[in-house]
Chains A and B, each alone.
Chain A
Amino acid sequence: MIPSLIAPHPEVWVYLSTSPLSWLTLTLVAFIVADRISIAFNRHPAVNLVALATFLIIVALKATGTSYETYFAGAQFIHFLLGPATVALAVPLYRNFERVRATALPIAASLCVGSVVAIVSVVAIAKLLGASHEIAASLAPKSVTSPIAMGLSERLGGAPFLTTALVMATGIFGAMILSPLMKLMRIDDPAAIGMAAGLASHGVGAARAFHIDSTAGAFAGIAMGLNGALTSIILPILQPWLGL
């Protein structure tokens, strides 16, 4: 539709479709639209911001025949801020320092239990359903932040870029089920909710946790960082047991 509007001026479309500015703007506009929809649904967890914005953008890219590489040339400026945002997690962590220090034992224990459950369950279920080695290995690090997950997947014989896609899917799914699951388990301690969010669904879960409560966000940041480190240590140890 958009190309036909400016069809009399093909050179305009060539400029727009290849300019990073277009795809940067599209990302922001899609996010604003997704945010409005999320607000209209009273921030219902099933209406996930990341999933909705992603869907809108993929529809736009497919409609205009634009490749992910062309899109990413613009979107990378937003993607770049993920690194500094991860560093910035130190701030809510420090603001909750007293609480974190007082709960060091529950943090360490829930981290160890959650990390093993996250790895073993996904590999066991995938193998039970007859998944190939490549698929099972790509799934194993699904709960950790994508730079760590990609490296681990490669070491196990998985497909690193498939892992990135699975990591994002895990994050979005985790963000959607966080509130309903915690309600079902009758857990209302923001620290416990944050730990669960960050451990099982990394930064996307942490983003959802920040929507719930800043303490939940702080604990999600801790869980995400520590689970990334812990998974990269225990996954190679569990590897023979998992048959990977």
Chain B
Amino acid sequence: MIVAFAGIFGCQLLGEFIVRAFALPLPGPVLGMFLLFLALVLRGGEGGKGAGDVPKPIGAAADGLLGHLSLLFVPASVGLMRYFDLLAANALTLILALSISTVLAMAATAFTFRLLAGSNS
């Protein structure tokens, strides 16, 4: 378990380092995700294991973190309280723009995906 967390933190740290060193327009953890993915792909190739096979400790640590992903957003979400006045003053514009745009983006993404994935299979 400790090895797994060291690996995950290590990927994040390396991601943060590369992002800063090369001034990339990405957060460190997102690059860290691609680095861990790359590590899993490389290991899968060498170990001769089937694709999709993740070392148990890494799998358990990831499942533990992602199983409670909602909880991790709560502290940032409580930050909404600092902007009540600004949000309230523009409430109608913000609510309409956010909600309509989110529906459109979601629908467009799912529609495009189904259109192309459907014609493949």
Contact = CB atoms under 8 A, between A and B. Distances in A.
Q: Are both chains from one complex?
A: yes
Interface of A: 27-28, 30-31, 49-51, 53-54, 57-58, 61-62, 68, 71-72, 75-76, 78-79, 81-98, 102-103, 105-107, 109-111, 113-114, 117-118, 121-122, 125-126, 129-131, 135, 139, 142-143, 145-148, 151, 159, 161-162, 164-166, 168-174, 177-178, 181-182, 185, 187, 189, 191-193, 195-197, 199-201, 203-204, 206-208, 210, 217, 221, 223-225, 228-229, 232-233
A84 B114 contact: no
Contacts, number: 320
A142 B103 CA distance: 13
B48 interface: no
B25 A229 contact: yes
B21 interface: no
A121 B73 contact: no
B1 interface: no
Contact of A170 (B32, B35, B98, B113): B98
A91 B78 CA distance: 29
A110 B114 CA distance: 9
B7 to A, nearest CB: 9
User: Lowest 3 A-B CB distances belong to which pairs?
Assistant: A114-B109, A75-B75, A91-B62
A54 B105 CA distance: 25
B76 interface: yes
A237 B77 CA distance: 30
Contacts of A75: 74-75, 78
* Centre residue among B40, B52, B108, B109 by max chain A CB count within 10 A: B109
Interface residues of B, number: 76
B78 A61 contact: yes
Contacts of A200: 102, 105-106, 109
Contacts of A86: 12, 27, 29-30, 32-33
Contact of A126 (B93, B115, B116): B93
Interface in B65-115: 65-67, 69-83, 86-87, 90, 92-94, 96-115
A102 B47 CA distance: 23
Interface of B: 5, 8-9, 11-12, 15, 25-30, 32-37, 40-41, 44, 51-52, 54, 58-59, 61-63, 65-67, 69-83, 86-87, 90, 92-94, 96-117, 120
Contact of B74 (A30, A84, A102): A30
13 contacts: A50-B73, A85-B66, A91-B40, A94-B40, A95-B52, A118-B102, A121-B100, A129-B92, A146-B76, A182-B110, A195-B113, A199-B106, A200-B109
Contact of B75 (A78, A97, A173, A225): A78
Contact of A58 (B29, B80, B105, B110): B80
A186 B36 CA distance: 34
Contacts of A201: 102, 106
B107 A196 contact: yes
Nearest to A177: B103
Contacts of A223: 109
Given A50-B73, A146-B76, A225-B33, A173 B113 contact: no
